[in-house]
Amino acid sequence: EIVLTQSPGTLSLSPGERATLSCRASQSVSSGYLAWYQQKPGQAPRLLIYAASSRAADIPDRFSGSESGADFTLTISRLEPEDFAVYYCQQYDSSPWTFGQGTKVEIK
């Protein structure tokens, strides 16, 4: 089973700042099989990024995904008030499909 480790656990930032979230896999994950989700309290997860860098439908372009070796990154270029939430990465390269433990982006 592939273990995904997200860092940091919590990111304290102000609106307008840039957020950089990391996701590292315990085994090789092809870039075609890495997704990012946003989850707000009491809501279901929402797909933001798939295939490491493709934005899902209706996702603003301030959200972007990238890959560097074994590390995957979600970047929010300028935080809007509605972006404060928990973010999960997921690999779907190898079953069982697994999620990272999440990064909480909170208002500083």
To another protein, the closest distance from the beta carbon of 70 in angstroms equals 18
Q: Closest CB to another protein among 17 and 93?
A: 93
Quote the CA–CA distance of 52 and 32 in Å, as a whole number: 6
Residues forming contacts to another protein in the complex (CB under 8 A) are 30, 32-33, 35, 37, 43-47, 50-51, 54, 56, 88, 90, 92-102
Quote the CA–CA distance of 29 and 86 in Å, as a whole number: 22
To another protein, the closest distance from the beta carbon of 83 in angstroms equals 19
Q: Closest CB to another protein among 14 and 43?
A: 43
For residue 18, CA distances in Å to 12, 29, 51, 54, 91 come to: 11, 26, 22, 19, 24
The residues facing 71 across adjacent strands are: 24, 68
To another protein, the closest distance from the beta carbon of 57 in angstroms equals 8
Q: Closest CB to another protein among 69 and 96?
A: 96
Q: Closest CB to another protein among 14 and 42?
A: 42
**Dihedral sign computed on CA atoms, order 45, 51, 57, 61:** positive
